[in-house]
Homo-oligomer: A and B are copies of this chain.
């Protein structure tokens, strides 16, 4: 794209991202000035997060199409907003591109990002293009809104609160393994499960669920599974000053992922707990029972599963399995991913 120049490339990207967001409620000045200007909702809190995808670290061009990469770059940010109970509204997108990247690839990334933005009515209000000699990067900042006293943090959990996780776990990690195996072995490899592959390539941020839980007051604390369930459990419990007991039998492990790992002789439970599924983990006490039923009646998908409980001893992170008390398998750190 080096021959195009920044201005022409920006125009191309803008024409694709400009479609996102529908009616421009709140947008005062969009892409194209020194900065974007928005009119926040009166009395709302603003919720802000940023997360980058780096080629070779967070995605691999051998199995991720440009549109998948763009989709995922926004998804991981919307997942953070979902974990706070916020409604996503705006995004800024920063691309670092090599001179050799094709216009088709750049447009593909913009299209994938735009697809998810449209689904959640997120306006792409600004961004930046820069050259790099290294791996391609998409860095997104997402901004959402939440009502005061309806923000979910990691730190509000109390001993005795039950822990719930949305959807299934393990799908993303198994999906990545399947895609990598296919790229390595071709047809000779085991058939991949399309659901697992899609869960990895295009994680579905649980925006509606997070918002419903926050608005109903149905949780004392929440976090997303960006670093896996094990890490999320440890983070939420630590931030809340609690210990935790997780019941291995209760974990909603994706059956296709479980079959994949058991075939390979791997431990499905601990592997699934390191999978970056972008589901939500939340804590709820007795008081939250009614509100939680109310939230579930409004947003019934994905299902929500009770997997354990917060405990008093803040140094005790336990996985109950086959009648034994094991140490909870930690998740991974994104840094070391």
Contact of A151 among B28, B125, B151 (CB under 8 A): B28
- Beta-carbon contact of B129 and A84 below 8 Å: no
Contact of A335 among B6, B139, B336 (CB under 8 A): B6
Given contacts A141-B50, A143-B48, contact A335 B129 (CB under 8 A): yes
Is A265 an interface residue, CB under 8 A from the partner?
Answer: no
Query: Chain A 108-152 against B: per-residue CB contact (8 Å), 1 yes, 0 no?
Result: 000000000000000001111111111101010101101010010
- Beta-carbon contact of A94 and B50 below 8 Å: yes
Interface size on A, residues (CB 8 A): 71
**Which of A33, A56, A58, A224 counts the most chain B CB atoms within 10 A?**
A33
Please report the C-alpha to C-alpha distance between residue A75 and residue B42 in the assembled complex, in whole angstroms: 30
Query: Chain A 1-33 against B: per-residue CB contact (8 Å), 1 yes, 0 no?
Result: 010011101000000000000000000110011
- Beta-carbon contact of A34 and B135 below 8 Å: no
Please report the C-alpha to C-alpha distance between residue A50 and residue B124 in the assembled complex, in whole angstroms: 12
Is A49 an interface residue, CB under 8 A from the partner?
Answer: yes
Is A188 an interface residue, CB under 8 A from the partner?
Answer: no
Please report the C-alpha to C-alpha distance between residue A176 and residue B3 in the assembled complex, in whole angstroms: 25
